[in-house]
Structure 1
Amino acid sequence: MTSIDIGINEESRKQIAEGLSRVLADSYTLYLQTHNFHWNVTGPQFRELHLMFEEHYTELAEAVDDIAERIRTLGFTAPGTYKEFARLSSVEEVDGVPEANEMVDILTKGHEQVVRTCRSVIKMTDEVFDEGTADLLTARMSLHEKTAWMLRALRQ
């Protein structure tokens, strides 16, 4: 590969790519949980949750691609295995199939965790004027904050 000269030095790009790898791992773990819950939700809210979870995992599937492509744009390899995601993710794994309300609570916490991970990475982008990554992270935070709000509203 030829050298990258986008106005951000290699060490800064590396640190940002490592942060984005954590965002990617959190997002992929949340995607997998959401898809699992879509398949396995039961109860009085089945239809509403089944359809909502499908909307969420579809959006997350697109997001993980965008995040991975940003890592590649910065000149680094995106993680892509369960082993790497497990090591990098801050989103807690769930054993078994929880009941519907617990699914909502778990996904709320997952979306909030992605926001926190994004916030930790966006600080790095400010220092080196990496607006491309900052824009991606800002959009992700906004979406995850709104999704967490909507999930919390189901439990009130």
Structure 2
Amino acid sequence: MKTNSIGLNAQKSKELSKDLNSLLANFQTYYQNLRGIHWNIKGKRFFDLHVKFEELYTNANLKVDMVAERILTLGGVPEHTFKDYIEHSKVPVGKNVTRDEDAIRLIVDSLTELLVTERKILDASDAANDEGTNSMMSDFITEQEKTVWMMKAWLAEDI
């Protein structure tokens, strides 16, 4: 078994980098969705939601950087063009979302898709004995599950 400089299986690290690039594309779409709803939200809940959406996009932007740096740590190259993101993202794209419920639904749908990808990476990183990626995915999942719960509560829906 060939290992890389951080002691991980080189082939498994390459595969994880590919999965992380998929996550990166999805996060970039999620981030841009959050920017859009932050800018375009209207209605009586504007002030509360405008601030919340800024909190969420700031957090998403940090995660984008963390994912890209993890890809580099594993020896990969983070994708960085809109073309790459469009080709590999499964997160729904929100365009001209102005209503509060539509915005919250977009967040829930986006996070649901992110969680699918993160769980796949969690399993693969566990199998590769990659504690760095595994820990990052575990932290992301825990935080995003809570955000989904809160957004679903806002929508008055069960988890």
Query: Could you tell me the TM-score, scaled by structure 1's length?
Result: 0.94
The equivalent of 2:137 in structure 1 is 137
Letter in 2 for 1:57: Y
1:95 CA displacement:
3.0
Gap regions ≥5 residues in structure 1 = none
State the Cα distance separating 1:99 from its structure 2 match: 1.7
Secondary structure of 1:8's aligned partner: coil
Structure 2 residue aligned with 1:75: 75
Deviation for aligned residue 1:146: 1.1
- Structure 2 gap segments, 5+ residues each: none
Aligned residue for 2:48, secondary structure, equals helix
What's the offset of the Cα at 1:98?
A: 4.3
Q: Is the 8 A contact 2:36 2:95 kept in 1?
A: no
Supply the AA of the counterpart residue of 2:7.
G
Greater than 3 Å deviation, 4+ residue runs: none
- 1:94 shift after superposition: 2.4
Measured on the aligned residues, the alpha-carbon RMSD in Å equals: 1.3
Q: How does 1:4-153 map to 2 (within 5 A)?
A: 4-153=4-153
TM-score by length of 2: 0.92
Q: Give the AA of the match of 1:88.
A: H
Identity of aligned residues (%): 31
Post-superposition offset of 1:92: 1.3
SS in 1 for 2:79: coil
Tell me the number of residue pairs that the alignment of Structure 1 and Structure 2 aligns: 154
**1:83-135 Cα shifts (integer Å, max 9, x gaps):** 10111111011233342211110111101111111001111111121000000
